[in-house]
Amino acid sequence: MDKVFIEGLEVAVKIGAYEFERAIIQCLHLDLTCAFDIRPAAATDDLSKALDYAALAESIQQFAQSVQFELLETFAERLAQHLLGEFNLPWLRLKLVKPGVNPLAQRVGLEIERPCSD
């Protein structure tokens, strides 16, 4: 299985269980790995047959700007479903880190894997 990935994408989003959190824009750090057959793009050297990293990153940013959730879990699940559908992906792994949640931890977040639900 071929994999395409984006690591360390910074995403601005309104998210949080507490009222003060939802009143501000917070930065999440996102790592995304997608299953994608790169052979058609490699054989033709044609971007239209590849998973366009710029389009993928832009879709993530637009999604983040259009939603507001209390839980990181909800954001992760909805973003995964959005990406699976929009890019016709067979599988993805999404890791989200929410900086500053716990001053004793370097990073706090979650990681999910989802297959396409066709």
By annotation, the residues acting in catalysis are 98
Contact yes or no for 75/15 (Cβ under 8 A): yes
How far apart are alpha carbons 6 and 4 in whole angstroms? 7
Contact yes or no for 43/75 (Cβ under 8 A): no
How far apart are alpha carbons 51 and 117 in whole angstroms? 19
Q: Which of 115, 114, 111, 117 is nearest to 29 (CA)?
A: 111
H or E segment at 7?
strand 3-15
